[in-house]
Amino acid sequence: LSIRLRLTIWYTAVLAVTMLLFSVFLYFLLARNLTVEINKSIVIKGREVISSVRVIGPPHQLRQVVLPDVDVFATPDIFLQVVDSQGTVVARSQNLGGQNLPVNEAMFSETGRTGPFFETATVGNERVRLYNSPLNLKGNFIGILQVGRSLRSMETTLNRLRFLLFFGGGLLLFLTASLGWFLAGLVLKPISRITKTAAAISQDADLNRRIAYLGPGDELGRLAATINSMLARLQVVYSRLEEAYAGQRRFVADASHELRTPLTTIRGNVELLQKMGDTHPVEREEALADIACEAERMSRLVNDLLVLARADAGQHLEKQPVVLGGILNEVARQAKQLQGGVNFRTEGLELLGEIKVMGRADALRQLFFILLDNAFKYTLPEGKVALAASVPADRVKISVIDTGSGIAPEDLSRIFERFYRADKARRTGGSGLGLSIASWIAEEHQGKLEVQSKLGEGSTFTVLLPVAKLS
Ligand code: ADP
């Protein structure tokens, strides 16, 4: 059942019950009032008649009583009849025609003698309200005066009322039900419009669409606004998801591509070795060295991918207070082996003293090694590389400064992206993952990795880390 139909049925039912109760109440109230009126009128008539009875002899029998002419008191719908103590009709009004008012036994019973009473009887084909009043003379029961009044006009009135209530009420119910149906339709129309739009949006999966609702800011207006704001939120979340998904796809595609290159080299060399056998020892050595080198590159790549995959999965580094100066000295010692012809020096590492940061030693080592490795890779022999430390307020600042190739402004914003390499010729053999990992490590330490660079002049990569607050 639709809401529209249910609403209509509900208030029609409520109205029907209310009208029924009201009608029944009205009907019975009117019936009772009319009966009371009739009772009153026949009592008054009875009293009038009784007050004009005159006694002419010993007051024991009706024969000694002069009855008034009952026709004087009768009106077209009021009938009169006098019955003696034996039950014989002694007088009756002419408007009764040939009929008698019914005389029943009860009139002569104890109650009948002692007090007047009412009854409803049928005379001919007419129902009559009867007032039976005992005629007592000086304490003697001598007969009964019966005053009757036809109930026809009352019954006609009540019949008309019944007819009116029944058909009028029915018609009224029908009209209100139709009006209710129409109004419910009118009110619910915007809802069906909203439903249609929402269905269309979900069918076309078009989150750009909104529900066009121009009505007032009532319940429906708020519903439309709520759905619209939900759609807007969904759109944002969906586009973020799409971005993330596209990023993942790119990541997987790039990773596969990166892995394919060393694999191809390895396979080529293996085939060569298979063909050559032991005949060319020098070429054989070269091929084996190639294989080893590529295998190492691959395992580095796979390690990097693993770090990033874990980062994507929301894994965090477990940290503890570590002495940064120690780590940097160690990295600097190892970096000297990459130095080649480049002039390498450290500056201000002693300022760090025993300062601790909350971190993970191996991750921090990896971070600075990536930066130093890059600095040496992109700096020609005779150039300079420096590892410098300073301690601005409750932070430590570590810079890796080189006088190498520098980075073009258009590349500068992208070098932290995965697999991005500014060096399009790829002479350096890097994978483009180093800086992504480095910036992730810096973030994991609540720190920052920043770069300043000028093409042809050199670059400075700066790591800012908060000093551990030890209690
Ligand atoms: P790669 O493995 O290629 O070094 P990175 O993510 O470490 O990958 O670096 C991304 C790119 O940023 C490099 O390909 C290079 O073009 C540029 N880059 C990084 N460090 C330096 C630097 N010290 N001097 C010049 N260019 C750099």
Of the two residues 61 and 237, the one the predictor is more confident about is 237
Is pLDDT of 470 > 80? Answer: no
Q: Give the distance (Å) from ligand 1 centre to CA of residue 360.
A: 24
Q: Give the distance (Å) from ligand 1 centre to CA of residue 224.
A: 51
Distance CA 156, CA 164 (A): 12
Averaged over 377-386, what is the pLDDT? 92
- pLDDT for 69: 76
Q: Which atom of ligand 1 is nearest to the CA of 402?
A: 23
- pLDDT for 172: 94
Question: Which of 94-98, 203-207, 389-393, 420-424 is predicted least confidently?
Answer: 420-424
Is pLDDT of 13 > 60? Answer: yes
Q: 3-class SS at 371?
A: helix
Q: Which two tokens stand for residue 115?
A: 């007090």
- pLDDT for 263: 93
DSSP state of 165: I
Is pLDDT of 113 > 70? Answer: no
Averaged over 23-38, what is the pLDDT? 96
DSSP state of 467: P
Of the two residues 401 and 340, the one the predictor is more confident about is 401
Is pLDDT of 319 > 90? Answer: yes
Is pLDDT of 2 > 90? Answer: no
- pLDDT for 368: 97
Is pLDDT of 369 > 90? Answer: yes
Q: 177-227: per-residue pLDDT in tens?
A: 999 999 999 888 888 888 888 899 889 888 888 888 877 888 888 888 998
Mean pLDDT of the chain: 89
Write the burial class of residue 123 (CB in 10 Å: 0-12 exposed, 13-18 middle, 19+ buried). middle
Whole-angstrom CA distances from 202 to 72, 154, 209, 210, 229 are 92, 69, 10, 11, 15
Of the two residues 70 and 262, the one the predictor is more confident about is 262
Distance CA 328, CA 399 (A): 11
Distance CA 192, CA 306 (A): 52
- pLDDT for 455: 93
Neighbours of 346 (CB within 10 A): 17
Q: Sheet of 78-84: strands edge to edge?
A: 89-92, 78-84, 140-150, 126-137, 117-123
Q: Which amino acid is at 168?
A: G
- pLDDT for 288: 93
Neighbours of 56 (CB within 10 A): 9
Question: Which of 57-66, 132-141, 420-429 is predicted least confidently?
Answer: 57-66
Name the closest-CA residue to atom 20, ligand 1. 374
Q: Which two tokens stand for residue 49?
A: 């008649």
- pLDDT for 62: 62
Q: Which amino acid is at 174?
A: F
To test ligand 1's pocket by mutation, which of 338, 371, 378 has the most ligand atoms within 8 angstroms of CB? 378
pTM: 0.61
- pLDDT for 111: 54
Distance CA 297, CA 301 (A): 6
Q: Give the distance (Å) from ligand 1 centre to CA of residue 374.
A: 6
Q: 147-168: per-residue pLDDT in tens?
A: 999 999 999 999 999 999 999 9
Averaged over 455-468, what is the pLDDT? 95
Neighbours of 327 (CB within 10 A): 21
Question: Across the chain, how many H-helices and E-strands are there?
Answer: 11, 14
Partners of 55 in the β-ladder: 65
Backbone CA torsion sign across 79, 80, 84, 89: negative
Averaged over 261-279, what is the pLDDT? 90
> Please, are residues 354 and 324 in contact by the beta-carbon 8 Å criterion?
no
Pocket of ligand 1 (CB under 6 A): 370, 374-375, 378, 402, 404-405, 407, 415, 420-423, 428, 430-436, 459
Q: Give the distance (Å) from ligand 1 centre to CA of residue 354.
A: 31
For the CA atoms of 100, 105, 107, 109, what is the dihedral angle to 10 degrees? 170
Please give the share of the chain, as a percent, with pLDDT higher than 90: 58
Of the two residues 63 and 40, the one the predictor is more confident about is 40
∠71-72-74 over CA atoms, to 5°?
A: 55
Pairing of strands 343-347, 384-390: parallel
- pLDDT for 425: 59
